[in-house]
Amino acid sequence: MIRRIEALADAIARLNNAWTPESDAYQLRNPLLIKSFARPGKHNTDDKGRRIFESFLSGYKAGLFDLDLKLRGRSRAGLTTESTLENLLGVYGIDSIAAIDNVIAFVRRALKDQSINKKTLVTFFVEKEQSNA
């Protein structure tokens, strides 16, 4: 079963050409092209403030962490649990209709759910907490 958050991360990574060797996402090992808002020098960044990672796996994990914070309305990005997928994508700089449609099409196929659209609430992508009861 594909985790919803991973399908979304994969869609953004694909849009960023994360598996194309010449792309910034690939070269930075940062598939979601996340930026650093930490104090200067805490993270290795490029001239656009995007984080540089030692490995693709490290970049992917950091991207999932960043995405999870945003989905839960816990980041400084201004998103809340009432924000839509379109709002979320805008935070990642994805604001053209074609790019948004590209992400939606990918996520729909990955999750086998045609109901997903730009107005889908970000909470749809939050993984449910599992209890040990």
Does residue 17 lie in a domain region?
A: yes
Which pLDDT belongs to residue 102? 98
Which pLDDT belongs to residue 36? 84
Which pLDDT belongs to residue 40? 67
Which of these, 70, 91, 94, 86, lies nearest to 119 by C-alpha position?
Answer: 86
Residue 13: give the domain boundaries: 4-125
* Token digits of residue 63: 């991207």
Contact of 32 with 128, CB cutoff 8 Å: no
Does residue 131 lie in a domain region?
A: no
Does residue 55 lie in a domain region?
A: yes
Does residue 22 lie in a domain region?
A: yes
Q: Going residue by residue through the chain (133 aa), what tens digit of pLDDT does each one get?
A: 899 999 999 999 999 999 999 999 999 999 999 998 766 667 789 999 899 999 999 999 999 999 999 999 998 888 999 999 999 999 999 999 999 999 999 999 999 999 999 999 999 999 876 544 4
If one counts the domains in the chain, the total is 1
Does residue 108 lie in a domain region?
A: yes
The Cα angle at residue 94 between residues 88 and 97, in degrees rounded to 5: 105
Which pLDDT belongs to residue 133? 45
Which pLDDT belongs to residue 42? 74
* Token digits of residue 4: 């919803």
Does residue 130 lie in a domain region?
A: no
- The answer for residues whose C-beta is within 8 angstroms of residue 33's C-beta and 6 or more apart is 16, 24, 25, 50, 92, 93
Does residue 58 lie in a domain region?
A: yes
Coil, helix or strand for 113?
A: coil
Contact of 9 with 31, CB cutoff 8 Å: yes
